[in-house]
Structure 1
Amino acid sequence: MADRLVVIGGDAAGMTAATNARRGRPDLEIVVLEKGTYVSYSACGIPYLVSGSVGALEDLIVRTPQDLRDAFRIDVRTRHEVVGIDLDTRRLEVRAVDQERTLHLGFDLLHIATGSRPMRPDLPGIDGPGIYGVQTLDDARALLDAVEAGRCRAVTVVGAGYIGLEMAEAFVLRGAKVTLVDSNAQPMGTLDPDMGVHVGHAIRRFDIDLRLGTRVQGFEPGRVLTASGPVDADLVVLGLGVAPNSAIGLDAGLEAGAKGAIKVDHRQRTSREGIYSAGDCADTIHQVSGQRVLVALGTVANKTGRVAGVNLGGGYASFPGVLGTAVTRVCDIEIARTGLSMAQADAAGIEYEVGSVEATTRAGYYPGAKPLHAKVLAERGTGRLIGGQLVGADRSGKRIDTLATAITARMTATQLVDLDLAYAPAVSPLWDAFQLAARSTLS
């Protein structure tokens, strides 16, 4: 009898693993269990669906369950929630939601790709009507229904991270009056404060009522209660970040890693033989600090899912770790970061020099040149590049990839300055912003 691989979770890290395992082992029986309605979709596209930039929910779906059955012979079972794992007997307890029954399913190989769960603090009224998370396509469908019903004239977004900012922009584009509330002093907590302030200035230009240093105390119909007074809200979006949805694995006895995620090695193997994990529920290694970290990004989920799938399929693959490289666009600005922030470098015990510059997206004299703020961190003594951030106008964000490449190659600030990068007045200034920032760490 063929071995059975069961995959828990049907999105990026789950389906990528399942399809790669099939390529390696045509003989495997592969079953994917997904508690939601949809599989294999782009959760990162949800804010653009809500804004109307993406025309239909179906546009975010990469493959349907039937596509996966036909192309890969994968038995995809949606609305099936795994509620328990017995590692000794290698059996799963599964709740078939629509049938309202419980079944048991054995496995030879197991891949846990349960993703993350949105943070929902224990506040009065947080589970009331009109309060939405942004995690799955089911969440997106609920938000679209609210928009189509006209319940979004006044929208309050709680949390000014990536998702919060993107959702604030989405409802601005819908013509709503948007209030963005965050308890921190600056938006975008993954940025250093001096870079976050530029984000704050930019989003206020688009009539987003940004209320920083404001702690939410609870929710009532039609308003959000804060320490600074109530805020009107027909609709509330929670963008408070995520935590690893790892309980199903940890409760079964798998070893815990960073921030309560499942601990895995460079091949995505957990602490038990034949059991793998990838994506937002599994930890990884930071390439600069060497520390175990949790980075919940779609890029990481897809890459680690591929590594797990290759290994599950009998091949050999490894994951080198992360830099936390990320980019987003909010209104007319692009925000990007990679490597360590100042706070992360301090926590890792790495001393550094900082270089910050105000540059432009094109040659300063060329029509359409826009401001660009760039920052580089280099290790003191060695000059090794360890991090960088950027806040700038349209077409500036992808510059972060050059810096991420340089950090991965363990280049120094001097080597970055000397890189032979492209220049044309209509495309970029003579000196790239990150080269200027790196040069300023040397003085």
Structure 2
Amino acid sequence: MFPMGATERLVVIGGDAAGMSAASQARRMKGPDELEIVAFERGHFSSYSACGIPYWVSGDVTDRAELVARTPKEHRERAIDLRMRTEVTEIDVAGGRVRSRDLESGAESWTGYDKLVVATGARPVRPDLPGIGAPGVHGVQTLDDGQALLDSLSRTEGRRAVVVGAGYIGVEMAEALLKHGFEVTLVDRGEQPMATLDPDMGRLVHEAMSGMGITTVSRTAVTKILTGDDGRVRAVATDSAEHPADIVVLGIGVEPETTLARAAGLPLGHHGGLLTDLSMRVRGHENIWAGGDCVEVLDLVSGRERHVPLGTHANKHGQVIGANVGGGYGTFPGVVGTAVSKVCDLEIARTGLREKDARAVGLQYVTATIESTSRAGYFPGAAAMTVKMLAERRTGRLLGVQIVGREGAGKRVDVAAVALTAGMTVEQMTALDLGYAPPFSPVWDPVLVAARKASAAVRAGA
């Protein structure tokens, strides 16, 4: 039933970043007498930082509660009917309703909506391999996953771990397992770890992790998970070797969770994510919005849609959706693909296109790679970094930047992200008025040094 006086009902599927940001923003725009808000979440937690799970597992974050931005109780106090442990099983677009199931009691019911937000997130890629469901094999997508892994680590007597996949989650979990005293092997199909970088930059990550004691096995696919007599994982098998394992962590990546959307006939893109317009409204559906890890967004550099599962985007999507649902106006123009991570003291950052991305969209480009330091070379604590820059041939338009280095390296990528968003050329970047003092930067900031070199390469190729 609608609250007395309420004229509309908003239903939200998904109780994390995008969904609850949308619900909260819509509530700021309209009170309970104008808009009833019902949200469904199948898990045990709402509005939490999945990006923080590796740091909680590692011990850098000591309390799971620190990762929760707002509890279900806090949402309910703001007149949002958040129903936990309740899974939406069907969207009836024609009838304007959703079917849900209480995961504790099994009871099912239909809930009508005037406006719908789909924020179903992403699901971990979990290959169909023999033994993949064995005890001791863990994903790390949710807080429940993180807790299960921590419980398993505390019970495991052996100290050998294998991480499958060398993307962001893989390298972050390798660090977490090191901190727990495990001998870590990282197995990945790519040429180098961190496939979000070009191979020459990924090689720097490989070399640094080897120095940390992490064994990295590249160009290798896992074929099965081997188990012992007790049924628990004992090794990870590839075509050429067996890697002993008392714990296995899957860090292969994620894909949009759009099972409901597909069944309902909502439009999906090349990567399986929902397609929306700039207001985050699902294309062709006036009263349905979508945001977060279940959507595809416009890449402002390549001009194509892509799947970029990041909490930063999910929260922005939610704000835009909530404003529009609440009668205001907002848009999400797109992304340039900025991301930053770390493994121990190594910082890894990228924005824009890799070489293979540029080739895929038919762009001709030049590259420039430089080595520099985070501070003036004579200042104590100056740390080395490598910066690689891509620019469009002839025009000099910045296409992408990758950075690998020690303290002070990673967040420099933000300068490049702003330049990409503004459509700047590398020549224009060389004149940027960046802050300088010896404790913070050399006279020529490393990003600007790379821009100078890239600008020279553009002129040489003109």
Structure 1 counterpart of 2:52, from 45, 54, 64: 45
The question of 1:266 aligning with 2:272 is answered no
Count how many residue pairs are aligned between Structure 1 and Structure 2. Answer: 442
Structure 2 counterpart of 1:402, from 406, 415, 427: 415
The question of 1:16 aligning with 2:21 is answered yes
**Matched residue SS, 2:152:** helix
Whole-angstrom CA distance in 2 between matches of 1:2 and 1:173: 54
Higher mean C-alpha deviation, range 240-249 or range 365-374: 365-374
TM-score by length of 2: 0.94
Aligned to 2:35: 28
The question of 1:228 aligning with 2:234 is answered no
Residues 383 and 408 in structure 2, CA contact (< 8 A), matched pair in contact too: no
Whole-angstrom CA distance in 2 between matches of 1:91 and 1:262: 19
Offset of residue 2 of structure 1: 2.3
Whole-angstrom CA distance in 2 between matches of 1:276 and 1:131: 35
Aligned to 1:437: 450
**Matched residue SS, 1:49:** helix
**Matched residue SS, 1:406:** helix
**Matched residue SS, 1:122:** coil
Unaligned runs of 5+ in 2: 1-5, 228-233, 457-462
Which deviations, in whole Å up to 9, do the C-alpha atoms of 1:99-152 show, x marking residues without a partner?
112111111110000000000111111111111111001101101111222356
What is the percent sequence identity of the aligned residues? 51
TM-score by length of 1: 0.98
Which deviations, in whole Å up to 9, do the C-alpha atoms of 1:405-428 show, x marking residues without a partner?
111111111111111112222221
RMSD: 1.1
The question of 1:197 aligning with 2:197 is answered no
The question of 1:391 aligning with 2:396 is answered no
Whole-angstrom CA distance in 2 between matches of 1:179 and 1:138: 24
Residues 332 and 394 in structure 1, CA contact (< 8 A), matched pair in contact too: yes
Which deviations, in whole Å up to 9, do the C-alpha atoms of 1:358-404 show, x marking residues without a partner?
11111122222221000111111111111111001012111000111
Q: 1:223 corresponds to which letter in structure 2? A: A
Aligned to 2:216: 210
Whole-angstrom CA distance in 2 between matches of 1:195 and 1:101: 52
Offset of residue 90 of structure 1: 1.1
Structure 1 counterpart of 2:124, from 114, 118, 122: 118
Whole-angstrom CA distance in 2 between matches of 1:329 and 1:11: 24
Residues 258 and 294 in structure 1, CA contact (< 8 A), matched pair in contact too: no
Higher mean C-alpha deviation, range 84-93 or range 158-167: 84-93
The question of 1:187 aligning with 2:193 is answered yes
The question of 1:425 aligning with 2:431 is answered no
Higher mean C-alpha deviation, range 161-170 or range 211-220: 211-220
Unaligned runs of 5+ in 1: none
Offset of residue 217 of structure 1: 0.4
Q: 1:249 corresponds to which letter in structure 2? A: A
The question of 1:132 aligning with 2:138 is answered yes
Q: 2:256 corresponds to which letter in structure 1? A: P
Whole-angstrom CA distance in 2 between matches of 1:424 and 1:121: 50
Residues 156 and 246 in structure 2, CA contact (< 8 A), matched pair in contact too: no
Offset of residue 442 of structure 1: 2.2
Which deviations, in whole Å up to 9, do the C-alpha atoms of 1:157-177 show, x marking residues without a partner?
000000000000001011111
Q: 1:29 corresponds to which letter in structure 2? A: E
Whole-angstrom CA distance in 1 between matches of 2:219 and 2:395: 38
Offset of residue 53 of structure 1: 0.8
Q: 1:242 corresponds to which letter in structure 2? A: V
The question of 1:414 aligning with 2:430 is answered no
* Deviating 4+ runs (over 4 angstroms): none
Matches within 5 A, 1:210-359: 210-221=216-227, 222-270=234-282, 271-359=284-372
